[in-house]
Amino acid sequence: MPELAEVEFYRRKWNAGCGAVVTNVHLHGEKRIFRGVEPGTLVKAITGAKLVSSAAHGKQMAFRFTRGVWLGIHLGMTGELLVEAADFTPRKHDHLVLFQRKQALVFSDPRQFGRVLFFQGSGEPDWWRDLPPQILSREFSLRWMAERLARHRKLPLKAALLDQSTFAGIGNWMADEILWQARFHPRTTAGALDKDELKNLWQTTRSVTRKAVSSVAKPSASSEFSDPPKGFLFHVRWRRGGKCPRDGGPLRHETIGGRTTAYCPKCQGA
């Protein structure tokens, strides 16, 4: 499932359409990614509107148009945003296509775990306004994070990092990366951290996020996003016989927080 760095990559792709008017809309309105959305209303509102800006927040994106129109995109497990030629012919899994004079903005999702959200009016929609603080924002403070973790003291850190109501956009590989770089065992409970350890977790979370976005979401001639920086656990975490980049010890894999977890028992504790 795309995490915040990959989501930012896809957001930047659709920015190719900023400043251009949507001339036509193609969609599969009966698909579940449009649950809660009236397809006819969406088509009427966006056709003739200009894409003016976009933003990413955790695993969600918002594209803002004239006429007070907001389009929210959640990629789910297999979704991706593409930019195709203006004469593009939609395929089976291209569930939403916004045609513009010079290009077509495509949301493709084979397994349909993604979602399209729609809003038209003044102000921000609640599905955007009510999201938790972004990890790189001032609002995501050490104090705020510590207070959130204090509510789930018995939760393993791996599961805590996957909680989207606190760590918006952090998924499986980023959670493993944060814990490895901070040297925490993934089964360590949130309530077991002292003041200095909480600060370490907070700083490492922000550092990994910043570096991941800078590397993964950078512009590329390819349609695929780039890999995280060299030296990250990411590059060896699923490799057969993978060794810890820090101490050379063998990695271990367990299911923690409902997800397969990679860690180094030597430098993260047995």
Positions marked active-site: 2-3, 59, 259
Alpha-carbon gap, residue 187 to 88, rounded angstroms: 49
**Do strands 22-27 and 94-100 pair parallel, antiparallel, or not at all (unpaired)?**
antiparallel
Q: How far, in whole angstroms, is CA 47 from its chain's centroid?
A: 27
Q: Which two tokens stand for residue 121?
A: 């009016």
Quickly list DSSP for the chain. Answer: ---HHHHHHHHHHHGGGTT-BEEEEEE-TTSGGGTT--HHHHHHHHTTPBEEEEEEETTEEEEEEGGGEEEEEE-TTT-EEEEEETT----TTEEEEEEESSEEEEEE-TT---EEEEEESSS--HHHHTSPPPTTSTTS-HHHHHHHHHTTTTSBHHHHHT-TTTSTT--HHHHHHHHHHHT--TT-BGGG--HHHHHHHHHHHHHHHHHHHHHHTS--SSSSPPPPPTT-GGGTTTSTT-B-TTT-PBPEEEEETTEEEEE-TTTS--
Alpha-carbon distances of 141 from 132, 155, 196, rounded to whole Å: 12, 20, 14
Q: Name the β-bridge partners of 99.
A: 24, 104
